Structure 1
Amino acid sequence: MARSKEFDEHDVLLKAMRLFWEQGYEKTSLQDLVTHMGIHRRSLYDTFGDKHSLFVKAMEQYDKQTSAAIKAEVTRGRTSQEAIRFFFDYLIEVNDGRPLGCLYVNSATELALRDPEVGELTNEGFKNEERFLADLIRKGQQSGEIPLGKDADQLAASLQATMIGIRVLARTSTDRKKLHRLADASVAMLDAP
């Protein structure tokens, strides 16, 4: 007879996600995971597979959790430009005890070139974010808030590149004033003729 799990799979996955986010894939050992997740090594293998499989599941969970939350928060009662500005401010200012930066950006810089599965996940996450930004820009163009002559896809790619850079810089000693200046310059592109 199979034993029932003595832990909540979702909760321990969130713990693994946070540890990978804080330390990165390479620096996180199996023992770190077992200790941080509060489960036995055998339970980790039986539930999630190996370390890499757990990492992929943690990335997928991160995408589900953060994408929906950010999109809902960013668009809540805001015009397109306000939403984009809020998105930048959110990336710079949110300090709710989460690790610095972004699990996807961290994983892309650490692993994507040599791990095709991680590369595919990060690229898909970046494409989704870029599409979200392009949709906001098109909405702003339809409302007259953003000039129609601008290429929404190109603007979205530029905005996202700055957002990725901000996420990387957020992990360093870069001060927030500098990050806000970078955001201001990017948002100003939306108004320029």
Structure 2
Amino acid sequence: MPRSKEFDYDQKLEIARNLFWEKGYHATSMNDLVDTLKLNRSSIYDTYGNKHSLFIKCLSSYILKKENQYKEAGKKGKSPLEAVHLIIKSVVKNMILEAKTCMSVKTTVELGKTDEETQALLNQQAKDSVILFSGLLQQAKEQGELAENKDPETIAHFIVASFSSLWNADIIFKDKKLTQKLTDHLISTINT
């Protein structure tokens, strides 16, 4: 009869996710995972698979968390265009509060070109974000909030690409006021 797990799967996954998020995939060793999770190697392998499998599970949970954040922020909008603005603002607010680089952005730089499974996850996340934004922007256009000459899909791609740029600027310049000005500029670019 197999033994039942004596730990919370999701709690340990979150701890591992935070470790990968802080150190990156390559800098996180199995010893780091054993020490941080306070689990032996066999429990990690039996429950989550190897280091790469555990990382993929962690990245997937992070992506799901971000998708839920976007949807929750968007629900607060009184109009489709306001929903877009609120999602953008929620991303920047979390950027400032978390004081660390988005795990997806960090992973894109570290593994985006070398790891097919990671690249596929990141690609799907970006596509899902584009679909979310383009849908809201199309509604905004239909309701007269967005000019007729604006292409919702192009703007959606621009927003998603701009998130990486905002993270990059925040890291390089370490100036929260500048990050906020860049965010305001992004929003005004959408509106004009």
TM-score by length of 1: 0.90
CA deviations over 1:90-144 (Å, ceiling 9, x no partner): 2222369646121111111101111111111111111111111111111211221
Flag structure 2 segments of 5+ consecutive residues without an equivalent: none
The CA distance in 2 between the partners of 1:16 and 1:95, in whole Å, is 20
Name whichever structure is richer in helix by fraction: 2
Task: Tell me whether 67-76 or 113-122 shows the greater mean CA deviation.
Answer: 67-76
Equivalent position of 2:86 in the other structure: 86
- Give the percent of matched residue pairs that are identical in Structure 1 and Structure 2: 30
The CA distance in 1 between the partners of 2:95 and 2:112, in whole Å, is 27
The CA distance in 2 between the partners of 1:11 and 1:132, in whole Å, is 29
Residue 53 to residue 132, structure 1, CA distance change in 2 (3 Å)? same
- Displacement of 1:81 in angstroms is 2.8
Matches within 5 A, 1:92-171: 92-94=92-94, 98=98, 100-171=100-171
Residue 49 to residue 65, structure 1, CA distance change in 2 (3 Å)? same
The answer to whether the Cα contact below 8 Å between 2:95 and 2:101 also exists between their aligned partners in 1 is no
Aligned length: 192
- Displacement of 1:11 in angstroms is 1.0
The answer to whether the Cα contact below 8 Å between 2:129 and 2:160 also exists between their aligned partners in 1 is yes
TM-score by length of 2: 0.91
The CA distance in 1 between the partners of 2:9 and 2:97, in whole Å, is 22
- Counterpart secondary structure, 2:6: coil
- Counterpart secondary structure, 2:4: coil
Task: For CA contacts below 8 A with separation 6 or more, give which structure has more relative contact order.
Answer: 1
The answer to whether the Cα contact below 8 Å between 2:92 and 2:183 also exists between their aligned partners in 1 is no
The answer to whether the Cα contact below 8 Å between 1:134 and 1:156 also exists between their aligned partners in 2 is yes
Equivalent position of 2:44 in the other structure: 44
Flag structure 1 segments of 5+ consecutive residues without an equivalent: none
The answer to whether the Cα contact below 8 Å between 1:56 and 1:118 also exists between their aligned partners in 2 is yes
Residue 63 to residue 26, structure 1, CA distance change in 2 (3 Å)? same
- Displacement of 1:174 in angstroms is 2.5
Equivalent position of 1:8 in the other structure: 8
Q: Which amino acid aligns with 1:68?
A: N
Say what the alpha-carbon RMSD is for the aligned residues: 1.9
